[in-house]
Every structure is written in C-alpha cells, then in structure tokens.
Structure 1
Amino acid sequence: MKKLINSPDTVVTDALRGLAAAHPSLEVDVENRVISLAGGPRQGKVGLVSGGGSGHEPLHGGYVGYGMLDAAAPGEVYTSPVPDQILLATQRADAGAGVLHIVKNYTGDVLNFRMAAELAEDEDIRVVSVVTNDDAAVEDSTYTAGRRGVGGTVFVEKIAGAAAEGGADLDAVAAVATRVNERTRSFAIALHAGTVPAAGKPGFALEENEVELGVGIHGEPGRERGSMAPMNELIAYALDVIHADLPVSGNLLVMLNGQGATPLIELYGAFAEATAWIEGHGATVARSLVGNYITSLDQSGFSVTLTQLDDELLRLWDAPVSTPALRWGR
C-alpha cells in the first residue's frame, strides 16, 4: 500500500486539520470531528446537517457553506459518526427554525442520526430527517436494509440547502429534499477497488478483465461481476438500469462522478456517451456535474446520477452556493 498519509490512525484527523487550514470559511472542530459554517447559520434559517464515514470526500464536509449544509459530522473511514458527534453538529446548525438531517441509507448512519435527533429533541431542537436511497443497483446490501444512499445525496443537500437559504420552513425544506430523492437514481461501476488505510489492501479483488456492476460507495458488492468493455457499453449498462427503474424523461440534472481514481479525461469521455444516450432516449441534460463529488477513497470507475427536474428544482439548483466543493452565483 502506498498512501500519502502519516499513519492509518491519523488519516481523518490530518484531513480535518488540512480542511481547516485551506478553508477559513469553515469552523473545523478537529477534536470532536464536526465541520460547521464559521460564525454559524443566519438566525431564523433552517439548519442542514449531514455526515457519514470519511473516505467519500468532498462529501460531506466539502459541502458546508452558503446555500448548502450548515454542519457535517465525519466518522472514521467508511464508519458512521457517533450520536454525540451528530448532536454537536445539530446544535451548531440550529438557528431557531429547526434542523434537517440528510442521512444516507446505511444502517449505522440511520441508527446514529435517529439517536442524535432524539437527543436534540430533548434540547428543544426540532429535527426532521430525510433518508436518501437513490441507488438503483440493489434492493438490499451488506450495509443496508433497502436501497443505498449514494450520489443523489449531493443533489439533495444542494437543492434543500437553497430552499433553506431562501427562507422556507423546516417542513417545506424536508418536502423538497424528499422530492429530489424520489426523482433521483444512481448506478456505479468499479474497475478497481479502493484501499482502506487501516486494512492496507483493496476492499475486493477483480480480475484484469472484470468490473463490479452496481458497486456501493464502501466497495460493497453490486448486482454482478461483468466483463471489462468499452466505455460506451459500460455507460449504456448503467443508464439502462436507471431507465428501467425510473424512466428517463424531460429535463435532467446529471452527475458523472469519479470514485476517487478516475482521471477527468475518462470522465469527460464518459459524460459524452451519457449525454448521447440520454438525448437518444428523448430527454435533455439541463444541468450537469463532471468530476469527483462522492468518492470511495482511491476506487476507480464511475457513478452516474440522474434527477428529473421541474421548474422549482431547477431554480433551486441554480441558486447561489459557496462551499469548498461547489461554488457559483456568489
């Protein structure tokens, strides 16, 4: 294993120290592992909190800022943050109008966010939770009961964050977040597995001619092993799965996401194929992201995420945002 680290034991702490040094707009509590907006949220605004295991950067800490999250709780690599950590993030995001928890559908995350919400309610902080489950690959997995929450989480955080920034109340922000999740599907294919620093070896083994179809963001198995194929065939496979689950139509928000080790030259080529497939099925790419937005350490491959936009969701997506990982209109 060759990693740019000091020690497997300090990977998360070192990354948090670096995040603090690189982004003074953030308040990074390295000891308690909470990332929040410096100066706190605007009074009277609904707060947004998310979190999960580290190793998926820029998710979630890279999305703390104006128009998106107010706080994030990063756990150990591929491990849920603990309830006290999530509670502290919730307290720092609370500005008197309640807090929305955006939770990826993994068993540890769901349980720990639920416990944190109960603790927050004891402190008279109203919390509503929205669980993302956009993965079209499998119904149940190693880490979940039901579908996994993956790339669509980025869209939920951005669009719900814009609604909150615009003054919507907690129930309205939660409703927008739920709508985005319901209109979103994702699918991922891995070419090589990522390596967890503490393990020192890839999370799974693939032969040179194999790919994992429907892989999860922790390297969990997908629906099947397949044969390596040209890019257009892999993109078509992923989009066919999504289309069978939620027919592709209308104006779409599309993310062609790297998993940590795929170069942009390949991602842009893949996005060209995805655009051709989408247009060939009568839909339109109205907005897009291409790059690393939800990673799996140094796993290579891609995920594709589609959201069916309506006028309101498009307006909220276009609204200004200023975070380390997303920034426009401000």
Structure 2
Amino acid sequence: MKMLINVPETVVPDALRGIAAAHPELNVDVATRVVVRREAPVEGKVGLVSGGGSGHEPLHAGFVGRGMLDAACPGEVFTSPVPDQMTRAAAAVDSGAGVLFIIKNYTGDVLNFEMAAELAEDEGVQVATVVVNDDVAVTDSLYTAGRRGTGGTLFVEKLAGAAAEEGAPLDRVAMIARQVNERCRSFGVALSACTTPAKGSPTFDLPPGELELGIGIHGEPGRERRAMMTSHEIADVAVEALVEDLRPDGPVLALVNGMGATPLLELYGFNAEVHRALGERGVPVVRTLVGNYVTSLDMAGCSVTICEADEDLLRLWDAPVRTPALRWGC
C-alpha cells in the first residue's frame, strides 16, 4: 500500500508536528501527545477533554478550540491514549471549574480515562465523565462491552462544548453531554477495508462486489455482509436501524460522515437519500453536517448519525465554534 508517511513508528508525532504548523491557535506538545487550545485554561470555564486512538481524524484534535474541546489526547493508531496524557490535559485546561472527560465506549479508552480521572482528582481537579455509546449496529464488539462510540461523539463534544463556553457549571455540562448521548444513534457501512500504517495491508477481507453493514470505526465486524447496494438502498437500511432504535418524536440533527476515502460527491448524493429516508419515516431534519469527521483511516464507506434536538440543543448546535475541523458563527 502507498502512504504519505516516513515510517510507521512516527506517523502520530509527524502528524502532530503538522497540526502545530497549520494551527498556531493550538498548543501541540508532540512529546507528551497533548493538544490544547492556546488560551486554556479559560477563567471560570469547564474544561472539555477527549481523545482516543489516532486514525479517526479530524476526531479529536481537529475539534479543539472555542465552543468545543479544550484538549485532546491522541493515542497510537487505533490504540487508546495513556492516563498520563489525560491527566496532563486535565491540568492544562482546569480553571477551577472542573473538567469533563468525553470517552468513546472502547475498553481501553474507558479504563484509561477512568484511571486518569482518579489521578486528576488526587491532584485537586474535579472531574466528571460521560461515555459515548451511540452505535446501534452491534453490542459487545471486538473492542467494547456494550455499544461502540462513533459519530455521536461529535454531537456530544459540540453541544457540551457550547454549554461550557456559555459558562455552565460542570454538573450541567455533564448532564447535557449525557442527554445528547442518549438522543444520538449511529450506523456505519464499509465499502472497503482500512489499512493501518503498521500492517501496510487491509485489516480485514471485504471481497469486490460486497459491503459490510454496521461496521465499526476500527474495522470491527458489522451486522452482515451483502452484495453491493445502491445509495438509495443503503440509506434505507441505515435510517431504518436508527429510527427503529431511537424512535424520535421530533426534529433531528443529522451527520452524514465519510469514513476517510469516500469523496464528497458520493457523500452529498448519499445525504439526499438519507433525507429522503428520514422524511418518508416522518422525521424532520433541522440541521445537517456532511463530510469526513469521524474516520477510519482510508476506509471507503460512511456512517449516519441522528440526534434528537429540542430548542435548547438546537441553540447550542448553532452557537459559535472555531476549531480546525468545525467552525461557524465566529
């Protein structure tokens, strides 16, 4: 496989150096692998910290900035960051108002963030945690106990981040994060396998002419394999799974997310089908985001996330955000 890398062992620090060069509004510590918004800690503001294995960019470092995360901790590719990274991040963003850890539901992430929360509290930092588990496709996968955390992480980080930016206290920011997670559902589809730099070849076998429904962001198995389907058919399967599980009785935010190797031409076409499928099921969409936000290296495919939104959550969604990967209203 051809990749724009030097050697597999330096992929993550090389990328962090590139982030630092492109985004002077961030403090990027390549040695400790912590990315922090430059003005942190912001006086009186709850700090938001997230992180996980690299390979899902722009998640999480691309969401550090005003109105979203205060810090991110990138691990090795598809590997959890370590507790020391998280405690350093918590110390860097704590203004005295406390810190919220946003954790995707993968076993390594959960264990390491929980350990980091204990260490941070020993150092006098008040910490709350929320675990994101929005994926409806499977339960108890290769990497998780329970449902996986996927595209809903973006909604949790954006909406809780907006509340923190407004000056909400830690208990309210944490409550909003948990509420958003409860209202989010995601479903992913793989058209090809991803390739990690260390392996240099596809991580699983997906024959030509087949797709996998319900895939995870690390290439974990989904619900089933089928012969290749049209965009119309894929949207019906994904949306039906989401609506059946969430049963929304109001408007939703929608994320049509590329897995890394799907061009926007295809994603926008697929978005049209997602809107059609939701409309046919009586689910109005009030805001839509289309693009590569929670990826799986070079996987071709997509995921769909919906989040049931009341007026307060819609206001928080529309609130200003300025990060490398998400920005409006600034």
Q: Which runs of 4+ in 1 moved over 6 A?
A: none
Contact preservation (8 Å) 2:42, 2:93:
no
Q: Secondary structure at the match of 1:110?
A: helix
1:124, CA displacement in angstroms?
A: 0.8
Matches within 5 A, 1:71-86: 71-86=71-86
Residue type matched to 2:151 in 1? G
1:37, CA displacement in angstroms?
A: 0.7
Q: Secondary structure at the match of 1:178?
A: helix
In the alignment, which residue of structure 2 is the partner of 1:320? 320
Structure 1 residue runs without a partner (length 5+): none
For residues 239-272 of structure 1, the C-alpha deviation after alignment (integer angstroms, 9 at most, x for no partner) is 1111111114421100000000000000000000
1:39, CA displacement in angstroms?
A: 2.8
In the alignment, which residue of structure 2 is the partner of 1:300? 300
Matches within 5 A, 1:107-126: 107-126=107-126
> Which whole-Å CA distance do the structure 2 matches of 1:119 and 1:231 have between them?
47
Matched, 1:188 2:166: no
Contact preservation (8 Å) 2:56, 2:294:
yes
1:161, CA displacement in angstroms?
A: 0.3
Residue type matched to 1:24 in 2? P
Q: Secondary structure at the match of 1:192?
A: coil
Contact preservation (8 Å) 2:134, 2:186:
yes
> Which whole-Å CA distance do the structure 2 matches of 1:77 and 1:46 have between them?
29
Structure 2 residue runs without a partner (length 5+): none
In the alignment, which residue of structure 1 is the partner of 2:29? 29
> Which whole-Å CA distance do the structure 2 matches of 1:95 and 1:37 have between them?
13
1:223, CA displacement in angstroms?
A: 1.2
In the alignment, which residue of structure 2 is the partner of 1:278? 278
Residue type matched to 1:220 in 2? E
Matches within 5 A, 1:92-103: 92-103=92-103
In the alignment, which residue of structure 1 is the partner of 2:45? 45
Aligned length: 330
Residue type matched to 2:120 in 1? A
TM-score (ref. length: structure 2): 0.99
Residue type matched to 1:206 in 2? L
Contact preservation (8 Å) 1:195, 1:202:
yes
Contact preservation (8 Å) 1:47, 1:70:
yes
1:225, CA displacement in angstroms?
A: 1.2
Residue type matched to 1:184 in 2? C
Q: CA RMSD in A?
A: 0.7
> Which whole-Å CA distance do the structure 1 matches of 2:115 and 2:257 have between them?
31
Contact preservation (8 Å) 1:184, 1:305:
yes
Contact preservation (8 Å) 1:71, 1:93:
yes
Matches within 5 A, 1:80-229: 80-229=80-229
Matched, 1:15 2:15: yes
> Which whole-Å CA distance do the structure 1 matches of 2:132 and 2:151 have between them?
9
> Which whole-Å CA distance do the structure 2 matches of 1:165 and 1:231 have between them?
38
For residues 118-138 of structure 1, the C-alpha deviation after alignment (integer angstroms, 9 at most, x for no partner) is 000001101000000000001
Residue type matched to 2:269 in 1? G
In the alignment, which residue of structure 2 is the partner of 1:67? 67
- Percent identity at matched positions? 64
Residue type matched to 1:85 in 2? Q
Residue type matched to 1:302 in 2? C
> Which whole-Å CA distance do the structure 2 matches of 1:249 and 1:301 have between them?
28
Contact preservation (8 Å) 1:214, 1:222:
yes
Q: Secondary structure at the match of 1:113?
A: helix
Residue type matched to 2:307 in 1? T
TM-score (ref. length: structure 1): 0.99
Contact preservation (8 Å) 2:28, 2:34:
yes
> Which whole-Å CA distance do the structure 1 matches of 2:91 and 2:70 have between them?
10
1:41, CA displacement in angstroms?
A: 2.7
> Which whole-Å CA distance do the structure 1 matches of 2:274 and 2:212 have between them?
19
> Which whole-Å CA distance do the structure 2 matches of 1:60 and 1:280 have between them?
34
Residue type matched to 1:89 in 2? A
For residues 92-115 of structure 1, the C-alpha deviation after alignment (integer angstroms, 9 at most, x for no partner) is 111110000000000000000000
In the alignment, which residue of structure 2 is the partner of 1:238? 238
Residue type matched to 1:187 in 2? F
1:282, CA displacement in angstroms?
A: 1.3
> Which whole-Å CA distance do the structure 1 matches of 2:17 and 2:315 have between them?
35
Contact preservation (8 Å) 1:248, 1:278:
no
For residues 49-96 of structure 1, the C-alpha deviation after alignment (integer angstroms, 9 at most, x for no partner) is 000000000000000000000000000000000000111111111111
Q: Secondary structure at the match of 2:191?
A: strand
Contact preservation (8 Å) 1:262, 1:302:
yes
Matched, 1:54 2:54: yes
